[in-house]
Amino acid sequence: MKRTRITIMALTAMICVQQTKAQTVVESSLKKVREIKSQVPFEGIDQTWYNGGDRRDSSVLSGKYVTWNVMLDANVNHSFNDPIDHTVVGSTAMARTDEIEVSCAAIGGDFVYGNAHARIMTQFGTRSTVIPRNDYSIYRGQYNLGDVYRYISEAYAGYHFDVLHGINVDEGMFMSYVGLNSYYQVENWEYQASFTSDNTPWFFNGIRTQIFPTNHLKIEAWIINGWQSYGMFNQLPGVGGNITWIPNSNMKLLTNDYYGTDAAGIIARHRFHSDNSFLWRYYHKPKSSKGVTQMALSATADIGYEKGGGVNGFKDDIGGKGPAQYFASAMIYNRMWFGKGKWAWCLGGGYMKNPGRYLVLYPTGDASPLPNQYNPTQTAGTHPYSANPGDQFSGWDASTNISWMPNQSIEFRLEYVHREADNPYWAGKGGVTSPTGYTTTPVPSIGWAPDLVKSEDRIILALLFRL
Protein backbone atom coordinates (compact mmCIF):
# COMPACT_ATOMS: atom_id res chain seq x y z
CA MET A 1 0.00 0.00 0.00
CA LYS A 2 2.84 2.31 0.91
CA ARG A 3 4.69 1.44 -2.33
CA THR A 4 1.54 2.19 -4.33
CA ARG A 5 1.21 5.58 -2.63
CA ILE A 6 4.86 6.42 -3.48
CA THR A 7 4.36 5.35 -7.10
CA ILE A 8 1.26 7.58 -7.44
CA MET A 9 3.19 10.51 -5.95
CA ALA A 10 6.06 9.92 -8.38
CA LEU A 11 3.69 9.80 -11.36
CA THR A 12 1.99 12.96 -10.16
CA ALA A 13 5.36 14.69 -9.90
CA MET A 14 6.32 13.55 -13.41
CA ILE A 15 3.03 14.82 -14.81
CA CYS A 16 3.56 18.18 -13.10
CA VAL A 17 7.07 18.39 -14.59
CA GLN A 18 5.76 17.55 -18.04
CA GLN A 19 2.95 20.11 -17.68
CA THR A 20 5.50 22.72 -16.62
CA LYS A 21 7.68 21.87 -19.61
CA ALA A 22 4.67 22.00 -21.96
CA GLN A 23 3.61 25.35 -20.52
CA THR A 24 7.17 26.63 -20.98
CA VAL A 25 7.15 25.46 -24.61
CA VAL A 26 3.77 27.13 -25.22
CA GLU A 27 4.92 30.38 -23.61
CA SER A 28 8.13 30.25 -25.63
CA SER A 29 6.13 29.69 -28.83
CA LEU A 30 3.77 32.56 -28.02
CA LYS A 31 6.75 34.78 -27.32
CA LYS A 32 8.23 33.90 -30.69
CA VAL A 33 4.90 34.61 -32.39
CA ARG A 34 4.74 37.99 -30.66
CA GLU A 35 8.32 38.72 -31.74
CA ILE A 36 7.51 37.76 -35.33
CA LYS A 37 4.35 39.89 -35.30
CA SER A 38 6.31 42.83 -33.94
CA GLN A 39 8.47 42.68 -37.07
CA VAL A 40 5.43 43.00 -39.39
CA PRO A 41 4.96 46.68 -40.34
CA PHE A 42 1.79 48.22 -38.88
CA GLU A 43 0.77 44.85 -37.38
CA GLY A 44 -2.35 45.09 -35.24
CA ILE A 45 -3.41 48.47 -36.64
CA ASP A 46 -6.90 48.69 -38.16
CA GLN A 47 -6.45 50.13 -41.67
CA THR A 48 -9.79 49.06 -43.18
CA TRP A 49 -11.38 52.53 -42.86
CA TYR A 50 -8.75 54.51 -44.79
CA ASN A 51 -9.57 56.70 -47.77
CA GLY A 52 -7.29 55.19 -50.42
CA GLY A 53 -6.89 51.81 -48.67
CA ASP A 54 -8.13 48.24 -48.85
CA ARG A 55 -11.27 47.98 -46.68
CA ARG A 56 -11.07 44.18 -46.40
CA ASP A 57 -9.73 42.60 -43.23
CA SER A 58 -8.51 39.50 -45.10
CA SER A 59 -8.35 37.87 -48.54
CA VAL A 60 -10.22 34.68 -49.40
CA LEU A 61 -7.70 33.97 -52.18
CA SER A 62 -4.64 33.74 -49.97
CA GLY A 63 -2.25 30.80 -50.30
CA LYS A 64 1.25 29.87 -49.22
CA TYR A 65 3.01 31.46 -52.18
CA VAL A 66 0.30 33.54 -53.90
CA THR A 67 -2.47 35.89 -52.78
CA TRP A 68 -4.66 36.53 -55.78
CA ASN A 69 -6.50 39.79 -56.43
CA VAL A 70 -9.50 40.34 -58.71
CA MET A 71 -11.13 43.76 -59.19
CA LEU A 72 -13.93 45.13 -61.33
CA ASP A 73 -14.90 48.79 -61.54
CA ALA A 74 -17.96 49.53 -63.70
CA ASN A 75 -20.14 52.62 -63.84
CA VAL A 76 -22.90 54.40 -65.65
CA ASN A 77 -22.89 58.18 -65.36
CA HIS A 78 -24.75 61.16 -66.77
CA SER A 79 -23.48 64.68 -67.38
CA PHE A 80 -26.22 67.30 -67.30
CA ASN A 81 -24.28 69.08 -70.08
CA ASP A 82 -25.30 66.09 -72.25
CA PRO A 83 -22.38 66.08 -74.75
CA ILE A 84 -23.28 64.54 -78.12
CA ASP A 85 -20.07 62.47 -78.26
CA HIS A 86 -20.54 60.90 -74.78
CA THR A 87 -16.98 61.95 -73.85
CA VAL A 88 -15.97 62.77 -70.27
CA VAL A 89 -13.44 65.59 -69.85
CA GLY A 90 -11.11 66.13 -66.91
CA SER A 91 -11.38 62.72 -65.24
CA THR A 92 -9.24 59.60 -64.95
CA ALA A 93 -12.10 57.65 -63.33
CA MET A 94 -14.47 57.84 -66.31
CA ALA A 95 -14.19 58.12 -70.08
CA ARG A 96 -17.76 57.81 -71.38
CA THR A 97 -21.09 59.26 -70.29
CA ASP A 98 -24.64 57.88 -70.71
CA GLU A 99 -23.21 54.41 -71.32
CA ILE A 100 -22.45 51.40 -69.15
CA GLU A 101 -18.68 51.50 -68.91
CA VAL A 102 -16.05 49.12 -67.55
CA SER A 103 -13.45 51.50 -66.22
CA CYS A 104 -11.13 48.83 -64.90
CA ALA A 105 -11.05 45.03 -64.91
CA ALA A 106 -7.92 43.88 -63.11
CA ILE A 107 -6.47 40.53 -62.12
CA GLY A 108 -3.15 39.64 -60.54
CA GLY A 109 -1.67 39.02 -57.17
CA ASP A 110 1.19 39.04 -54.71
CA PHE A 111 3.82 36.33 -55.01
CA VAL A 112 6.19 35.34 -52.19
CA TYR A 113 8.99 32.79 -51.88
CA GLY A 114 11.24 33.16 -48.88
CA ASN A 115 12.25 36.80 -48.74
CA ALA A 116 11.67 37.36 -52.45
CA HIS A 117 8.38 38.91 -53.49
CA ALA A 118 6.59 40.33 -56.52
CA ARG A 119 3.31 41.99 -57.39
CA ILE A 120 1.68 41.94 -60.83
CA MET A 121 -1.69 43.55 -61.61
CA THR A 122 -3.13 43.81 -65.11
CA GLN A 123 -5.67 46.45 -66.15
CA PHE A 124 -8.28 46.39 -68.89
CA GLY A 125 -11.10 48.81 -69.59
CA THR A 126 -11.19 52.52 -70.35
CA ARG A 127 -8.42 53.30 -67.86
CA SER A 128 -5.93 51.53 -70.13
CA THR A 129 -6.60 54.35 -72.61
CA VAL A 130 -7.18 57.28 -70.25
CA ILE A 131 -3.96 56.91 -68.26
CA PRO A 132 -1.42 56.52 -71.13
CA ARG A 133 -3.01 59.51 -72.86
CA ASN A 134 -1.71 61.75 -70.06
CA ASP A 135 1.91 60.58 -70.37
CA TYR A 136 3.88 62.68 -72.88
CA SER A 137 7.07 60.65 -72.37
CA ILE A 138 5.73 57.88 -74.62
CA TYR A 139 6.23 60.15 -77.65
CA ARG A 140 10.00 60.26 -77.08
CA GLY A 141 11.73 57.64 -79.18
CA GLN A 142 10.31 54.38 -80.40
CA TYR A 143 8.91 51.05 -79.20
CA ASN A 144 5.40 52.37 -78.39
CA LEU A 145 5.63 52.51 -74.59
CA GLY A 146 1.97 53.52 -74.39
CA ASP A 147 0.98 50.18 -75.90
CA VAL A 148 3.64 48.07 -74.17
CA TYR A 149 2.57 49.11 -70.64
CA ARG A 150 -1.08 49.93 -71.34
CA TYR A 151 -2.51 46.77 -69.76
CA ILE A 152 -0.30 46.77 -66.63
CA SER A 153 -1.14 48.81 -63.54
CA GLU A 154 1.51 47.34 -61.23
CA ALA A 155 4.49 45.11 -61.94
CA TYR A 156 7.44 44.99 -59.57
CA ALA A 157 9.63 42.53 -57.73
CA GLY A 158 12.02 42.85 -54.84
CA TYR A 159 13.62 41.44 -51.72
CA HIS A 160 12.74 41.79 -48.04
CA PHE A 161 15.61 42.22 -45.57
CA ASP A 162 15.00 41.25 -41.94
CA VAL A 163 16.50 44.45 -40.58
CA LEU A 164 14.77 46.74 -38.06
CA HIS A 165 11.07 46.08 -38.72
CA GLY A 166 11.85 45.26 -42.34
CA ILE A 167 13.44 46.79 -45.44
CA ASN A 168 12.02 46.23 -48.94
CA VAL A 169 13.86 47.05 -52.16
CA ASP A 170 11.62 46.86 -55.26
CA GLU A 171 12.02 47.65 -58.94
CA GLY A 172 9.35 48.05 -61.60
CA MET A 173 6.03 49.91 -61.80
CA PHE A 174 4.39 50.72 -58.48
CA MET A 175 1.53 52.89 -57.24
CA SER A 176 1.95 56.54 -56.29
CA TYR A 177 0.65 57.79 -52.93
CA VAL A 178 0.68 61.43 -54.09
CA GLY A 179 -2.84 62.83 -53.73
CA LEU A 180 -3.89 60.20 -51.14
CA ASN A 181 -6.48 58.44 -53.32
CA SER A 182 -5.78 54.94 -54.58
CA TYR A 183 -5.47 54.14 -58.27
CA TYR A 184 -8.24 51.60 -57.68
CA GLN A 185 -11.65 53.20 -57.11
CA VAL A 186 -12.74 50.30 -54.87
CA GLU A 187 -10.37 51.70 -52.22
CA ASN A 188 -11.56 55.33 -52.32
CA TRP A 189 -14.34 57.09 -50.44
CA GLU A 190 -15.31 59.18 -53.51
CA TYR A 191 -15.64 57.89 -57.08
CA GLN A 192 -14.76 61.08 -58.96
CA ALA A 193 -11.56 62.20 -57.27
CA SER A 194 -11.01 65.84 -56.42
CA PHE A 195 -8.42 67.89 -58.35
CA THR A 196 -5.62 67.10 -55.86
CA SER A 197 -5.78 63.40 -56.67
CA ASP A 198 -6.92 63.39 -60.28
CA ASN A 199 -4.21 65.83 -61.41
CA THR A 200 -1.30 64.15 -59.64
CA PRO A 201 0.41 60.86 -60.59
CA TRP A 202 -1.16 57.43 -60.19
CA PHE A 203 2.00 55.39 -60.82
CA PHE A 204 5.81 55.51 -60.96
CA ASN A 205 8.35 53.49 -62.96
CA GLY A 206 11.56 53.01 -61.03
CA ILE A 207 13.20 51.73 -57.85
CA ARG A 208 11.60 52.00 -54.42
CA THR A 209 13.22 51.37 -51.04
CA GLN A 210 10.95 51.01 -48.00
CA ILE A 211 12.42 51.18 -44.48
CA PHE A 212 10.33 50.40 -41.38
CA PRO A 213 12.30 51.69 -38.33
CA THR A 214 9.38 50.89 -36.00
CA ASN A 215 5.98 49.23 -36.15
CA HIS A 216 4.41 52.65 -36.69
CA LEU A 217 6.76 54.36 -39.15
CA LYS A 218 7.64 53.88 -42.82
CA ILE A 219 10.28 55.82 -44.77
CA GLU A 220 10.57 55.44 -48.55
CA ALA A 221 13.00 56.64 -51.21
CA TRP A 222 12.25 56.65 -54.99
CA ILE A 223 14.41 56.86 -58.08
CA ILE A 224 11.92 56.99 -60.96
CA ASN A 225 11.64 57.80 -64.65
CA GLY A 226 9.45 60.80 -63.92
CA TRP A 227 6.05 62.16 -62.94
CA GLN A 228 3.58 59.42 -63.98
CA SER A 229 5.72 58.53 -66.97
CA TYR A 230 6.55 55.22 -68.59
CA GLY A 231 9.72 56.75 -70.05
CA MET A 232 11.99 59.68 -69.12
CA PHE A 233 11.20 63.22 -70.27
CA ASN A 234 14.80 64.46 -70.30
CA GLN A 235 18.20 63.15 -69.18
CA LEU A 236 17.80 62.84 -65.41
CA PRO A 237 15.45 60.61 -63.38
CA GLY A 238 13.06 62.00 -60.81
CA VAL A 239 13.68 61.48 -57.10
CA GLY A 240 11.30 61.50 -54.17
CA GLY A 241 10.10 59.80 -51.08
CA ASN A 242 7.37 59.11 -48.59
CA ILE A 243 7.10 59.21 -44.80
CA THR A 244 4.07 57.52 -43.23
CA TRP A 245 3.39 57.57 -39.51
CA ILE A 246 0.50 55.56 -38.01
CA PRO A 247 0.52 56.05 -34.23
CA ASN A 248 -2.65 54.01 -33.67
CA SER A 249 -5.74 52.59 -35.38
CA ASN A 250 -7.49 55.96 -35.49
CA MET A 251 -4.89 58.20 -37.10
CA LYS A 252 -2.55 58.31 -40.09
CA LEU A 253 -0.20 61.06 -41.30
CA LEU A 254 1.91 61.00 -44.44
CA THR A 255 3.97 63.22 -46.70
CA ASN A 256 5.19 62.65 -50.26
CA ASP A 257 7.84 64.85 -51.86
CA TYR A 258 9.14 64.87 -55.44
CA TYR A 259 11.79 66.61 -57.55
CA GLY A 260 12.41 66.11 -61.27
CA THR A 261 12.67 67.58 -64.76
CA ASP A 262 9.34 66.71 -66.33
CA ALA A 263 8.83 69.28 -69.09
CA ALA A 264 9.51 67.33 -72.29
CA GLY A 265 12.55 68.72 -74.07
CA ILE A 266 13.05 71.59 -71.57
CA ILE A 267 16.02 70.42 -69.54
CA ALA A 268 16.35 73.66 -67.56
CA ARG A 269 12.86 73.38 -66.05
CA HIS A 270 12.65 71.70 -62.65
CA ARG A 271 9.59 70.59 -60.71
CA PHE A 272 9.11 70.27 -56.97
CA HIS A 273 5.94 68.93 -55.34
CA SER A 274 4.94 68.31 -51.74
CA ASP A 275 1.82 66.30 -50.86
CA ASN A 276 0.57 65.97 -47.27
CA SER A 277 -2.38 64.03 -45.82
CA PHE A 278 -4.05 63.55 -42.46
CA LEU A 279 -6.63 60.82 -41.75
CA TRP A 280 -8.55 60.72 -38.49
CA ARG A 281 -11.23 58.31 -37.28
CA TYR A 282 -12.84 60.38 -34.56
CA TYR A 283 -15.75 58.06 -33.73
CA HIS A 284 -15.71 54.26 -33.53
CA LYS A 285 -18.32 51.89 -32.09
CA PRO A 286 -17.91 48.68 -34.11
CA LYS A 287 -20.26 46.63 -31.93
CA SER A 288 -23.15 49.04 -32.33
CA SER A 289 -26.06 47.26 -33.97
CA LYS A 290 -27.97 50.47 -34.54
CA GLY A 291 -27.02 53.89 -35.78
CA VAL A 292 -23.54 55.14 -36.66
CA THR A 293 -20.64 52.71 -36.24
CA GLN A 294 -17.76 55.01 -37.19
CA MET A 295 -16.93 58.45 -38.63
CA ALA A 296 -13.69 59.64 -40.17
CA LEU A 297 -12.22 62.47 -42.21
CA SER A 298 -9.34 62.77 -44.64
CA ALA A 299 -7.61 66.05 -45.49
CA THR A 300 -4.91 66.59 -48.10
CA ALA A 301 -2.95 69.71 -49.08
CA ASP A 302 -0.43 69.99 -51.93
CA ILE A 303 2.03 72.70 -52.90
CA GLY A 304 4.54 72.68 -55.75
CA TYR A 305 6.12 74.68 -58.55
CA GLU A 306 8.13 74.61 -61.76
CA LYS A 307 11.11 76.90 -62.26
CA GLY A 308 13.53 77.54 -65.12
CA GLY A 309 13.11 77.28 -68.86
CA GLY A 310 10.84 80.34 -69.05
CA VAL A 311 8.82 80.00 -65.82
CA ASN A 312 9.48 81.32 -62.32
CA GLY A 313 7.81 79.29 -59.57
CA PHE A 314 5.54 81.30 -57.25
CA LYS A 315 6.42 84.79 -58.50
CA ASP A 316 5.79 86.54 -61.81
CA ASP A 317 8.93 87.95 -63.44
CA ILE A 318 7.57 89.11 -66.77
CA GLY A 319 10.39 90.13 -69.07
CA GLY A 320 12.86 88.27 -66.89
CA LYS A 321 12.68 84.64 -65.77
CA GLY A 322 9.04 84.29 -66.80
CA PRO A 323 5.56 84.09 -65.26
CA ALA A 324 4.66 82.19 -62.10
CA GLN A 325 4.03 78.48 -62.57
CA TYR A 326 2.89 76.58 -59.49
CA PHE A 327 0.36 74.13 -58.05
CA ALA A 328 -1.67 74.69 -54.89
CA SER A 329 -4.57 72.48 -53.89
CA ALA A 330 -6.51 71.00 -51.00
CA MET A 331 -9.34 68.51 -50.49
CA ILE A 332 -11.28 67.27 -47.49
CA TYR A 333 -13.81 64.44 -47.14
CA ASN A 334 -15.86 63.10 -44.27
CA ARG A 335 -17.36 59.60 -44.24
CA MET A 336 -19.92 58.10 -41.88
CA TRP A 337 -20.65 54.35 -41.61
CA PHE A 338 -24.00 53.09 -40.32
CA GLY A 339 -26.38 50.12 -40.56
CA LYS A 340 -23.87 47.70 -38.98
CA GLY A 341 -21.15 49.15 -41.22
CA LYS A 342 -22.91 48.10 -44.42
CA TRP A 343 -23.88 51.65 -45.39
CA ALA A 344 -21.78 54.80 -45.69
CA TRP A 345 -22.33 58.44 -46.55
CA CYS A 346 -19.51 60.67 -47.79
CA LEU A 347 -19.37 64.44 -48.32
CA GLY A 348 -16.47 66.58 -49.45
CA GLY A 349 -14.66 68.49 -52.15
CA GLY A 350 -11.59 70.50 -53.02
CA TYR A 351 -9.87 73.38 -54.78
CA MET A 352 -6.92 73.70 -57.16
CA LYS A 353 -4.94 76.60 -58.62
CA ASN A 354 -2.40 75.77 -61.35
CA PRO A 355 -0.94 78.75 -63.30
CA GLY A 356 0.73 77.39 -66.42
CA ARG A 357 -1.68 74.43 -66.36
CA TYR A 358 1.24 71.99 -66.22
CA LEU A 359 -0.74 69.44 -64.16
CA VAL A 360 -4.20 70.06 -65.62
CA LEU A 361 -5.71 67.05 -67.42
CA TYR A 362 -6.00 68.34 -70.97
CA PRO A 363 -9.53 68.20 -72.39
CA THR A 364 -9.68 65.71 -75.24
CA GLY A 365 -9.99 67.59 -78.52
CA ASP A 366 -10.67 66.20 -81.96
CA ALA A 367 -7.94 63.70 -82.72
CA SER A 368 -7.32 64.31 -86.40
CA PRO A 369 -8.76 66.23 -89.37
CA LEU A 370 -8.95 62.94 -91.27
CA PRO A 371 -11.35 60.05 -90.59
CA ASN A 372 -9.98 56.76 -89.21
CA GLN A 373 -6.84 58.44 -87.91
CA TYR A 374 -7.83 58.42 -84.26
CA ASN A 375 -5.02 57.81 -81.79
CA PRO A 376 -6.38 57.36 -78.25
CA THR A 377 -3.04 58.23 -76.67
CA GLN A 378 -2.84 61.68 -78.24
CA THR A 379 -2.85 64.53 -75.73
CA ALA A 380 -4.39 66.99 -78.18
CA GLY A 381 -5.84 67.18 -81.69
CA THR A 382 -6.30 70.06 -84.11
CA HIS A 383 -7.77 72.19 -81.31
CA PRO A 384 -5.31 71.69 -78.44
CA TYR A 385 -6.00 73.10 -75.00
CA SER A 386 -3.66 75.98 -74.25
CA ALA A 387 -1.08 75.26 -71.55
CA ASN A 388 1.46 78.01 -72.09
CA PRO A 389 3.42 79.80 -69.36
CA GLY A 390 1.12 82.37 -67.82
CA ASP A 391 -2.14 80.58 -68.70
CA GLN A 392 -4.36 80.55 -65.61
CA PHE A 393 -6.42 77.72 -64.18
CA SER A 394 -8.32 77.39 -60.95
CA GLY A 395 -11.23 75.15 -60.11
CA TRP A 396 -13.29 73.69 -57.29
CA ASP A 397 -15.46 70.63 -56.84
CA ALA A 398 -17.94 69.20 -54.35
CA SER A 399 -19.51 65.76 -54.18
CA THR A 400 -21.62 63.52 -52.02
CA ASN A 401 -22.37 59.81 -52.25
CA ILE A 402 -24.04 56.96 -50.48
CA SER A 403 -22.64 53.42 -50.56
CA TRP A 404 -24.16 50.04 -49.81
CA MET A 405 -21.63 47.32 -48.89
CA PRO A 406 -23.42 44.00 -48.26
CA ASN A 407 -20.01 42.39 -47.70
CA GLN A 408 -16.37 43.41 -47.85
CA SER A 409 -15.96 42.41 -51.50
CA ILE A 410 -18.67 44.46 -53.20
CA GLU A 411 -19.95 48.01 -53.06
CA PHE A 412 -22.74 49.87 -54.85
CA ARG A 413 -22.25 53.65 -54.89
CA LEU A 414 -24.50 56.52 -56.00
CA GLU A 415 -22.66 59.84 -56.29
CA TYR A 416 -23.43 63.41 -57.30
CA VAL A 417 -20.56 65.76 -58.20
CA HIS A 418 -20.32 69.41 -59.25
CA ARG A 419 -17.12 70.74 -60.81
CA GLU A 420 -16.30 74.26 -61.89
CA ALA A 421 -13.34 76.06 -63.49
CA ASP A 422 -12.42 79.69 -64.19
CA ASN A 423 -12.20 79.03 -67.95
CA PRO A 424 -14.13 76.84 -70.43
CA TYR A 425 -12.88 73.32 -69.66
CA TRP A 426 -15.69 70.72 -69.31
CA ALA A 427 -17.44 69.09 -72.27
CA GLY A 428 -20.57 71.00 -73.33
CA LYS A 429 -23.53 69.96 -75.46
CA GLY A 430 -21.51 69.99 -78.69
CA GLY A 431 -18.88 67.58 -77.35
CA VAL A 432 -15.16 67.67 -78.03
CA THR A 433 -14.74 65.21 -80.92
CA SER A 434 -16.33 66.51 -84.16
CA PRO A 435 -19.51 68.24 -85.36
CA THR A 436 -21.35 64.90 -85.24
CA GLY A 437 -19.60 63.44 -82.22
CA TYR A 438 -17.96 60.63 -84.26
CA THR A 439 -14.24 60.33 -85.00
CA THR A 440 -15.11 59.24 -88.55
CA THR A 441 -16.44 62.73 -89.32
CA PRO A 442 -13.76 65.03 -90.79
CA VAL A 443 -13.26 68.16 -88.73
CA PRO A 444 -13.59 71.36 -90.78
CA SER A 445 -10.62 73.71 -90.67
CA ILE A 446 -12.90 76.62 -89.70
CA GLY A 447 -16.32 76.96 -88.14
CA TRP A 448 -16.01 74.24 -85.49
CA ALA A 449 -14.18 73.82 -82.19
CA PRO A 450 -14.65 71.58 -79.13
CA ASP A 451 -17.54 72.84 -77.04
CA LEU A 452 -16.06 73.62 -73.63
CA VAL A 453 -17.99 75.14 -70.72
CA LYS A 454 -17.05 76.36 -67.25
CA SER A 455 -18.97 73.85 -65.13
CA GLU A 456 -20.55 70.43 -65.06
CA ASP A 457 -22.89 68.44 -62.84
CA ARG A 458 -22.75 64.67 -62.98
CA ILE A 459 -24.49 61.73 -61.35
CA ILE A 460 -22.66 58.38 -61.12
CA LEU A 461 -23.80 54.86 -60.28
CA ALA A 462 -20.81 52.58 -59.74
CA LEU A 463 -20.31 48.89 -58.96
CA LEU A 464 -17.02 48.12 -57.23
CA PHE A 465 -15.92 44.51 -56.70
CA ARG A 466 -12.79 43.07 -55.13
CA LEU A 467 -11.91 39.51 -54.19
Average of pLDDT values for 198-221? 96
Task: Look over the chain and give the mean of its residue pLDDT values, rounded to a whole number.
Answer: 88
- Lowest-confidence range among 233-237, 319-323, 340-344, 444-448? 444-448
pLDDT at 345 over 60: yes
Q: What is the pTM of this model?
A: 0.87
Q: How far is CA 234 from CA 385, 388, 436, in A?
A: 23, 19, 39
Burial degree of 182 (CB within 10 A; 0-12, 13-18, 19+): buried
CATH class of the region 44-466: mainly beta
Q: Using CA atoms, how far apart are residues 455 and 245, in angstroms rounded to an integer?
A: 38
pLDDT at 30 over 70: no
- Radius of gyration of the chain from its Cα atoms, rounded to whole angstroms: 26
Count of CA atoms in the C-beta half-sphere (13 A) of 325? 26
**CA dihedral for 81, 85, 88, 90, sign (positive or negative):** negative
Note the pLDDT of residue 5. Answer: 52
Note the pLDDT of residue 365. Answer: 65
Note the pLDDT of residue 386. Answer: 85
Note the pLDDT of residue 35. Answer: 45
Q: Using CA atoms, how far apart are residues 29 and 159, in angstroms rounded to an integer?
A: 27
DSSP string, 316-367: -BTTTTBS--EEEEEEEEEEEEETTTTEEEEEEEEEEE-TT-TTS-PPP---
Partners of 414 in the β-ladder: 402, 461
How long, in residues, is the chain? 467
Which one has a higher pLDDT value, 180 or 146? 180
Q: Using CA atoms, how far apart are residues 238 and 155, in angstroms rounded to an integer?
A: 19
pLDDT at 417 over 60: yes
pLDDT digits (tens, 9 = 90+) for 400-415: 999 999 999 999 999 9
pLDDT digits (tens, 9 = 90+) for 126-177: 999 888 877 888 888 888 888 899 999 999 999 999 999 999 999 999 999 9
pLDDT at 283 over 90: yes
pLDDT digits (tens, 9 = 90+) for 5-25: 545 555 455 544 455 554 554
Strand boundaries in 176-317, DSSP class E: 203-214, 217-224, 238-248, 251-260, 270-284, 292-307
DSSP string, 281-301: EEEE-TT-SSSEEEEEEEEEE
Q: Using CA atoms, how far apart are residues 404 and 12, in angstroms rounded to an integer?
A: 60
Asked if residues 385 and 400 have their Cβ atoms less than 8 Å apart, the reply is no
Which one has a higher pLDDT value, 398 or 10? 398
pLDDT digits (tens, 9 = 90+) for 363-384: 876 544 444 344 444 545 567 7
pLDDT digits (tens, 9 = 90+) for 44-85: 899 999 999 999 988 899 899 999 999 999 999 999 999 999
pLDDT at 279 over 90: yes
pLDDT at 252 over 60: yes
Note the pLDDT of residue 302. Answer: 98
Which helix or strand (DSSP H or E) is residue 148 part of? helix 145-148
